[in-house]
Amino acid sequence: MANPWAGEVALVIDGQRHVAKLTLGALAELEPTLEGGGLIDLVERFETGRFTTRDVLALIVAGLRGGGWQGGAADLRQAEIAGGLYGAARIATELLARAFGRPDAGIGA
């Protein structure tokens, strides 16, 4: 079970449950891959709804790696994320909210 107080978010990929978390190390790995600036720019894109699918994928990969997963973006190209694109965007948004805010500050809070 994911612990929101620890910044964790649960997601299902190809029917398997994973726990994702944006640790400092995961964020450090993420930052050089971002197009259009750093983490603050990424947060602003999500706040204004101007994020891209590349942003969503980058956050999910970073969160999974922060949760101990050893894969990379290429490993998710053919993967099915529960909820499809909407589900993936929701997970990415929750990861950001839990990394930079209160645990109850997720979507709809």
User: Looking at the whole model, is its pTM more than 0.85?
Assistant: yes
Range 5-9, long-range pairs (CB < 8 A, 24+ positions): 5/103, 7/95, 7/98, 7/99, 7/103, 8/67, 8/98, 9/63, 9/91, 9/94, 9/95, 9/98
Q: What is the pLDDT of residues 9-34, one digit of tens each?
A: 999 999 999 999 999 999 999 988 88
In the chain the first and final C-alpha atoms are separated, in Å, by 21
Q: What is the pLDDT of residues 80-103, one digit of tens each?
A: 999 999 999 999 999 999 998 765
